[in-house]
């Protein structure tokens, strides 16, 4: 067996959360066990994804659901499903979409680097709205009528990025989509916890919703979920599956064979394949995530951060616990007068420590305990104190 040490890789203390750049969340033990168990036998992947779909329905109320290789892959597949539907010729064309409706309407303030995953399907984003709050020019953000006014004959869908502060509301945007029969694709990659968001966002009436499997769920880092209406989930699955079989032997799962005029070839998502091991590991992690006491888990993280806060305070370092509600992930904002330099020093120290870097320009290092291991807490405190500490 090769370990990190053999490759001269120094593991880091992850105090910034389930970020992809650091490999996501620690894998839950039951996910690891399921991964190993799944590796011992062969299964038909489409049968497995179909059975997964039924279980995801039972857990979330979605008509259907599949496991993808991440939320970003789920966004590409969800967009591809909205673009191509059940048409093998359109599936074959993607990402070339000149000859089909291909615009996805998106609020300007929902744009981010992650929407590259939507554009990778061949979708073109059509931006609407102005965020006068951020530009400092006024009090208004994107409004529902602006989505409606942008709908034309080449509109394929609406992209909505869900956060606690997204505007306009998802319900308002879905109402417009429903009125004009335009499916809504929701990026909810980071919207867990709370676990209730799975069912809540599915019930919104969105066509499809994408979640990460490797963030708070604690599944393998390269997994995600696409949940939603069966017609779109079925199309997304087809565009991800390996299609090397005879048409005479082919039975599309999740979709009615009657709806197809031919058997699609490998689709745009063929490169996003998910292993049976990853599928079973994520299902096991999700089972735990949905059935554990989330507020107790969050309280434990908050208690870890309070302990760290007390240690820092003794060393004269100021910090503030940011825990908006008991279902949300708590964070500790540590005050630093030299935040960029301290962040770099911590990354390159011994041990190496990574802290949240979202508020460095405000002089804050953000600590999130979700990926922190018990035995790392002392080292973390010592590193913080020696890097930013000044005698009180
Ligand atoms: C993390 C994230 C993604 C990507 O999720 P992966 O599971 O890493 O592919 C997409 N969108 C948003 C808003 C995210 O936070």
The predicted model scores a pTM of: 0.97
Domains present along the chain, CATH in parentheses: 5-21+293-388 (3.90.1150.180), 42-291 (3.40.640.10)
Q: Give the C-alpha separation, 133 to 139, whole Å.
A: 5
Q: pLDDT confidence of 392, banded at 50, 70, 90?
A: very low
Find out whether 191 and 114 touch, Cβ atoms under 8 Å. no
Summarised one tens digit per residue, pLDDT across range 258-301 is 888 899 999 999 999 999 999 999 999 999 999 999 999 999 99
Residue 75 CA, closest ligand 1 atom number:
10
- Is the shortest distance between the CB of 70 and ligand 1 below 6 Å? yes
* Residue percentage of the chain with pLDDT more than 70: 99
Q: pLDDT confidence of 316, banded at 50, 70, 90?
A: very high
385 Cβ partners below 8 Å, 6+ apart? 311, 312, 315, 317
- Is the shortest distance between the CB of 212 and ligand 1 below 6 Å? yes
Residue nearest to atom 15 of ligand 1 (CA): 190
Q: Choose the weakest-confidence range: 141-150, 333-342, 348-357, 383-392.
A: 383-392
DSSP structure string for 311-351: HHHHTT--EEEE--STTSPPEEEEE-TTHHHHHHHHHHSSS
Question: What count of residues does the chain have?
Answer: 392
Q: Read off the pLDDT of each residue in 44-58 and give the average, rounded to a whole number.
A: 97
Q: pLDDT confidence of 251, banded at 50, 70, 90?
A: confident
Decide if pLDDT at 391 tops 80: no
Summarised one tens digit per residue, pLDDT across range 133-176 is 999 999 999 999 999 999 999 999 999 999 999 999 999 999 99
CA dihedral 67, 71, 72, 73 (to 10 degrees): 0
Q: Read off the pLDDT of each residue in 201-226 and give the average, rounded to a whole number.
A: 97
The pLDDT, as a whole number, for residue 390 is 57
Name the residue among 351, 18, 33, 82 with its Cα closest to residue 234.
82
- Is the shortest distance between the CB of 224 and ligand 1 below 6 Å? yes
Collapse the DSSP code of 210 into the 3-class scheme (helix H, G, I; strand E, B; otherwise coil) and give the result: strand
Summarised one tens digit per residue, pLDDT across range 75-133 is 999 999 999 999 999 999 999 999 999 999 999 999 999 999 999 999 999 999 999 99
* Residue percentage of the chain with pLDDT more than 90: 95
Q: Read off the pLDDT of each residue in 214-232 and give the average, rounded to a whole number.
A: 97
The pLDDT, as a whole number, for residue 194 is 96
How many C-beta atoms surround the C-beta of residue 11 within 10 A? Answer: 13
- Is the shortest distance between the CB of 71 and ligand 1 below 6 Å? yes
Please give the mean pLDDT across all residues of the chain: 96
The pLDDT, as a whole number, for residue 215 is 96
Residue 211 CA, closest ligand 1 atom number:
7
Distance 41 CA to ligand 1 centre (A): 31
- Is the shortest distance between the CB of 267 and ligand 1 below 6 Å? no
């Amino acid at each position: 067996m090769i370990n990190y040490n053999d490759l001269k890789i120094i593991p880091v203390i992850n105090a910034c959360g389930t970020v992809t750049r650091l490999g996501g969340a620690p894998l839950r033990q039951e996910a690891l066990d399921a991964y190993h168990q799944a590796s011992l036998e062969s299964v038909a992947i489409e049968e497995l994804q179909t059975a997964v779909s039924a279980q995801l329905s039972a857990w979330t109320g979605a008509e259907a659901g599949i496991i993808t290789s991440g939320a970003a892959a789920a966004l590409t597949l969800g967009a591809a499903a909205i673009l191509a539907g059940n048409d093998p010729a359109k599936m074959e064309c993607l990402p070339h979409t000149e000859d089909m409706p291909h615009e996805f309407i998106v609020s300007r303030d929902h744009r981010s680097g992650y929407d590259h995953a939507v554009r990778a399907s061949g979708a073109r984003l059509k931006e609407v709205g102005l965020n006068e709050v951020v530009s400092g020019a006024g009090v208004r953000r994107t409004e529902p009528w602006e989505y409606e006014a942008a709908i034309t004959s080449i509109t394929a869908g609406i992209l909505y990025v869900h956060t606690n502060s997204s505007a306009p509301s998802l319900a308002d945007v879905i109402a417009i989509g429903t009125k004009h029969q335009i499916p809504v694709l929701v990026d909810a990659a980071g919207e867990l916890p709370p676990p209730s968001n799975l069912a809540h966002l599915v019930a919104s009436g969105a066509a499809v919703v994408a979640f990460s499997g490797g963030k708070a769920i604690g599944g393998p880092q390269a997994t995600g979920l696409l949940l939603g209406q069966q017609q779109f989930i079925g199309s997304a699955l087809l565009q991800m599956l390996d299609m090397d079989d005879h048409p005479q032997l082919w039975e599309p799962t999740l979709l009615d064979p009657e709806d197809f005029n031919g058997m699609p070839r490998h689709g745009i998502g063929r490169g996003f394949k998910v292993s049976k091991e990853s599928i079973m590991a994520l299902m096991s992690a999700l089972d735990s995530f949905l059935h554990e006491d989330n507020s107790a888990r969050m309280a434990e993280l908050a208690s870890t951060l309070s302990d760290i806060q007390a240690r820092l305070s003794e060393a004269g370092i100021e910090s503030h616990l940011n825990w908006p509600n008991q279902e949300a992930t708590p964070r500790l904002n540590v005050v630093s007068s030299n935040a960029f330099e301290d962040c770099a020093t911590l990354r390159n120290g011994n041990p190496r420590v990574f802290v949240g870097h979202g508020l460095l320009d405000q002089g804050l290092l953000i600590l999130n305990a979700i990926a922190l291991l018990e035995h790392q807490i002392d080292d973390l405190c010592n590193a913080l104190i020696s890097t930013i500490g000044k005698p009180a």
